[in-house]
Amino acid sequence: MKEKVVLAYSGGLDTTAIIPWLKEHFDYEVICCCIDCGQGNELDGLEERAKLSGASKLYIEDLVDDFCDHYIIPCVQANAVYENKYLLGTSMARPAIAKRLVEIARKEGATAICHGATGKGNDQIRFELGIKALAPDLKIIAPWRMTDVWTMQSREDEIEYCRQHGIDLPFSADSSYSRDRNLWHISHEGLELEDPASEPNYGHLLVLGVTPEKAPDEGEYVTMAFEKGVPVSVNGESMKVSDIIRKLNELGGKHGIGIVDIVENRVVGMKSRGVYETPGGTILMEAHQQLEELVLDRATMEAKKDMGNKMAQIVYEGKWFTPLREAVQAFVESTQQYVTGEVKFKLYKGNIIKAGTSSPYSLYSESLASFTTGDLYDHHDADGFITLFGLPLKVRAMKMAEAGQK
C-alpha cells in the first residue's frame, strides 16, 4: 500500500506540477488540500485540475471564519503591524493553513506534508514551524529546496513537465506578479517591484481597489461598533467578522485605502519589496485604535504597544503555535475588556479621517481636559509634581556644574 502525502494545493502551476513530481520521485498517493481563506474565484475548477494532474483526492476546506475569528482578530486587538506598515495578511493565514493540513494528514493516515513555498521566502518557515509544532512526526517535503530532484527553474519548465506527463492545463508562461490573496489582503511581488527605484505600475497592479487619485471626489462616512475589541457592526448593521471585513474591503477599495509599498526584512535574511492591498484591514485596525485611545490608560497603552510589536514579530516569523504567542495574546485580551463603543470616520482619497468616537467606558473627562478649571484638578498641584518629576534632571545639572567648576 502506497504512503500518502498531503499537498498544500493552490491550483496554480507550481503546486499542479508538484502532483506528478511527487508520484514520480516518491511513489506517493497524493491528496490535495486547498484551504479557502477567502481567495475568491481562485478556487474555480480546482477539483478537475487536481484529479487530471494525478491526485487521488481533493479537499477544499472553508477556513474563512476560523481565519477571521482566531487569527485576524487577535492581531487586530494587538495592533500587530510588522515594520510599521505590513498588516500580516499572508503571515496570519499560514498557521491556520498548517493546522488544517495536519488535521487532514491525520484523517488520511498520511506520513508527509508537502508545500510549494520557495527556499527564499518566509512561507516555508511559517508552514514548517506550524507543522513541527503540531505534528513533529510528519515528514515535510519542500520541492523547491530539493534541487537534486526538483530541476524545474521556470514556468516554461513546469508547463513542459506537465505536458510530458499528459497534463494539458490552461497555464501560460507569461510573466506576471507573484500574488497571495485571502480575505484580509492581496500581496504583489515581482516585475517592476523587484527594483526599489521603480514606481509601482498601479494601473496594472491593483486588484482590490483604486489609487487615491482615482477615488471619488466625495468622502463617505462610516460608523463601526465594537464589543470587547471585536467589531460587531458597520453602519448599524450587525455582521460576523468575515462579513465586516468584506464590507470594509468594498468601502476601502472604493476610496483608495490601504495601499502599502514596502521594502521589508524577511526572516531568511534578505530584503524584499512588495505592494500590499489591505483596504478593509487598514480601516479595521484604525477604527480599533481610535476606540482604544478613548478607553485604555496611559501605562496600559505603553505596554500594549510593545506587546503589539512582539506579536507582529511572532506572527511574521511563523511562531504562532508557541507559548510566547499564547502569553502575548492573553495579555492583549485582558486589555480588551472595556474596548466597547462606536467609532465614526470619513473615507476620502486614501485617508481615514476621524469623525467622533464614543464609549461607555471612556476615560476622557471633559471637566478635566477643558481649559476651564474643574473640581478634580487644582493647577497648584502641578508645582509639586513638576518639582519631583524634574528632580533627577535638576540634580544632574547641578552635579555637572560642580564638576565643571572643579
Q: Is 178 labeled as catalytic in the residue annotation?
A: yes
Q: Is 94 labeled as catalytic in the residue annotation?
A: yes
Three-state secondary structure of 149-216: CCCCCCHHHHHHHHHHCCCCCCCCCCCCCEEEECCCCEEEECHHHHCCCCCCCHHHHCCCCCCHHHCC
Distance CA 181, CA 190 (A): 15
Distance CA 98, CA 61 (A): 12
> 91 is written with which cell numbers?
503571515
Q: Which of 65, 69, 178, 272 is catalytic?
A: 178
Q: Which of 14, 100, 180, 187 is catalytic?
A: 14
Distance CA 10, CA 144 (A): 16
Q: Is 69 labeled as catalytic in the residue annotation?
A: no
- In terms of Cα–Cα distance, which of 293, 263, 317, 69 is closest to 184? 69
3-state secondary structure of 127: helix
Distance CA 86, CA 277 (A): 10
Q: Is the sign of the CA dihedral 113, 119, 121, 125 positive or negative?
A: positive
Q: Is 362 labeled as catalytic in the residue annotation?
A: no
Q: Which of 123, 126, 181, 273 is catalytic?
A: 123
Q: Which residues are catalytic?
A: 14, 94, 123, 178
